[in-house]
């Protein structure tokens, strides 16, 4: 593999080109299990690197503050139409720069500083932007948090209801970053209605599963859907806000001019392509395979003696609880990295350890499924994870090197989308 697939970059800035080339090798050779990551297609990569980059386009299609928008308007209108069709919503805004600013726009649209907002606690699997203290959303608003039950690892909807009726939050967020189970949008909708709250489904992690019919859709239940475009949806780094017609104006106004300036048109183009890809039958098959492989991987890990939060998974994500093992999450994650298996360490609900040194490891199947690995490969993946965690406990670097060679060998047979052949 060489940097020559970016010839201009190589000649202008060989140092930077070498970093990109090294990242291509890393992404090709490793088994990437971080559940929020993926491989975009070559088409999405191309669309996101176009001259659309050169245009300023404050405003919305047909209502811009700059001239020369003939083509940009068509790009953005196409992305919007595709989002509406794929997710079954009245309105879509494809301009948010990423998931966090998209969520901030929701606050701006519906709440005032100091208002109460409710989301899942970060250490329970929620996201920073759902009112957690260290986030602007938790310091400018009064964040109250719900969690999961200690005995089941599942959301206790009765407890959420009780809390919502006591707090009467302006906003309720459902969704998160470490939730291995199906979200009951209808249950949240009933609670939000009773409490008089705006309900936001933050489906950043599961948008691709929803698009592919492998997770129920929130479209008929919630006021606003917030999502990133770069996780299971397999688009460029970006985000979308979707809603019914009644909230369209408030959402658009909050994104621009409320929070952002010009949209990133090259990203909008990449989103349009990703939405087109996600509407194909092959993507439906992809989404279902992601879930099937995650279930198979969970079953194989349980067989190896691992504890999994909630006992398994319904979606793309598995949270391994290492509390009962000799190795905490960070040490396990770093050992897995040396073995060519890329994961992230993560808190588990009721974690006895600190967030920067927690007890869990979070894994998922979106990336490996994009490379064509399937259910039958999950026992070997579980075996690698088990051997690597054992090796980490014993400080056995040789064992990690052996696993790394096996991983590199298998991955060479599954070329990654968007990457040159290794």
Ligand X SMILES: *Cc1c(COP(=O)(O)O)cnc(C)c1O
Contact residues toward ligand X (CB under 6 A) are 36, 98-100, 103, 127, 129, 175-177, 202, 204-205, 228
Give 29 or 228: the residue with its C-beta nearer to ligand X. 228
> Smallest distance from the beta carbon of 122 to ligand X, in angstroms?
10
| List 32, 64, 170, 231, catalytic entry | 231
Catalytic residue among 58, 115, 156, 184: 58
Give 135's DSSP letter: S
3-state secondary structure of 120: strand
Instruction: Give residues with Cβ within 8 angstroms of 137, minimum separation 6.
Output: 103, 104, 107, 117, 128, 129, 130, 131, 143
Which listed residue (237, 244, 253, 338) is catalytic?
A: 237
Strand order in the sheet with 360-364: 307-308, 317-321, 360-364, 344-346
Reading phi first (left if > 0) and then psi (alpha if -120 to 50, else beta), residue 181 is in: beta
DSSP structural state of residue 418: T
Least Cβ distance, residue 380 to ligand X (angstroms): 28
**Which CB sits closer to ligand X, 38 or 369?**
38
Q: How far is the CB of 284 from ligand X (least distance, A)?
A: 22
Output 29 or 267, the one with its CB closest to ligand X. Answer: 267
Residues 6+ apart with CB under 8 A from 159: 146, 149
Cβ closest to ligand X, residue 59 vs residue 176: 176
Q: What is the DSSP letter of 49?
A: T
Distance CA 412, CA 8 (A): 28
Q: Of residues 137, 227, 228, 268, which has the active-site annotation?
A: 228
Cα separation, 48 vs 271, whole angstroms: 8
CA 344 to chain centre: 13
Burial-class residue 112 by CB neighbours within 10 Å (0-12, 13-18, 19+): exposed
3-state secondary structure of 60: strand
DSSP states along 358-386:
-SEEEEESHHHHHTT--GGGHHHHHHHHH
- Minimum distance, C-beta of residue 13 to ligand X, in the bound complex (Å): 26
DSSP string across 290-351? HHHHHHHHHHHHHHTT-EEGGGS-SSSEEEEE-TTSSS-HHHHHHHHHHTTEE-EEE--TT-
Position of minimal CB gap to ligand X: 99
Is 237 among the residues known to form the active site? yes
- Residue with tokens 């050992």, as numbered in its chain: 335
- List, in sequence order, every residue forming a beta bridge with 290; answer none if it has no partner: none
Q: Residue 36 or 260: which CB sits closer to ligand X?
A: 36
Q: Would you say 121 or 392 has its CB closer to ligand X?
A: 121
CB of 283 to ligand X, least distance (A): 20
Q: Smaller CB distance to ligand X: residue 127 or 247?
A: 127
Q: How far is the CB of 98 from ligand X (least distance, A)?
A: 3
C-beta of 212: minimal distance to ligand X in Å?
Answer: 18
Longest dimension (CA), the chain: 64
Q: Which of 76, 202, 252, 307 is catalytic?
A: 202
Q: How many Cα atoms sit within 13 Å of 101 on the Cβ side?
A: 21
User: Based on CB atoms, which residue is closest to ligand X, 207 or 308?
Assistant: 207
Residue 149 known to be catalytic: no
Which of 5, 37, 56, 182 is the catalytic position?
56
58 flagged as catalytic: yes
Task: Please report how close the Cβ of residue 126 comes to ligand X at its closest, in angstroms.
Answer: 8
Distance between CA atoms of residues 372 and 39, nearest Å: 11
Q: Mind telling me the catalytic residues?
A: 56, 58, 202, 228, 231, 237
């Amino acid at each position: 593999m060489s940097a020559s697939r970016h010839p201009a970059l190589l000649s202008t800035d060989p140092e930077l080109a070498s970093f990109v080339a090294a990242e291509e090798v890393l992404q090709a050779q490793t088994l990437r299990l971080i559940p929020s990551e993926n491989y975009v297609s070559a088409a999405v990569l191309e669309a996101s690197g176009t001259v659309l980059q050169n245009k300023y386009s404050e405003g919305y299609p047909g209502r811009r503050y700059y001239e020369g928008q003939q083509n940009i308007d068509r790009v953005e209108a196409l992305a919007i139409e595709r989002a509406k069709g794929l997710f079954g919503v009245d309105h879509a805004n494809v301009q948010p720069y990423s998931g966090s600013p998209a969520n901030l726009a929701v606050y701006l649209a519906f709440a005032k500083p100091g208002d109460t907002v409710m989301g899942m606690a970060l250490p329970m699997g929620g996201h920073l932007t759902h009112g957690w203290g260290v986030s602007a959303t938790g310091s400018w608003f009064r964040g109250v948090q719900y969690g999961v039950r200690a005995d089941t690892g599942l959301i206790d909807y009765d407890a959420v209801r009780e809390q919502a009726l006591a707090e009467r939050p302006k906003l309720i967020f459902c969704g998160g970053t470490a939730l291995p189970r199906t979200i009951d949008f209808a249950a949240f909708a009933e609670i939000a209605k009773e409490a008089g709250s705006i309900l936001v489904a933050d489906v950043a992690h599961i948008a691709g599963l929803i698009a592919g019919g492998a997770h129920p859709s929130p479209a008929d239940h919630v006021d606003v859907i917030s999502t990133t475009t770069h996780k299971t949806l397999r688009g460029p780094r970006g985000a979308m806000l979707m809603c019914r017609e009644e909230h369209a104006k408030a959402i658009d106004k909050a994104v621009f001019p409320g929070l952002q300036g010009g949209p990133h048109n090259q990203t909008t183009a990449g989103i349009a392509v990703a939405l087109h890809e996600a509407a194909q039958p092959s993507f439906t098959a992809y989404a279902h395979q992601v879930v099937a492989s995650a279930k198979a991987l969970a079953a194989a890990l349980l067989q190896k003696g691992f504890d999994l939060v909630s006992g398994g998974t319904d979606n793309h994500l598995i949270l391994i609880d290492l509390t009962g093992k000799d190795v905490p999450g960070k040490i396990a994650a770093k050992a897995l990295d040396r073995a060519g298996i890329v994961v992230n360490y993560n808190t588990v609900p009721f974690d006895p350890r600190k967030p920067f040194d927690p007890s869990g490891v979070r894994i998922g199947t979106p990336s490996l499924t994009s490379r064509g690995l399937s259910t039958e490969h999950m026992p070997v993946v579980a075996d690698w994870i088990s051997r690597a965690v054992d090796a980490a406990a014993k400080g056995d670097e040789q064992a990690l090197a052996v696993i790394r060679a096996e991983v590199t060998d298998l991955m060479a047979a599954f070329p990654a989308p968007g990457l040159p052949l290794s």
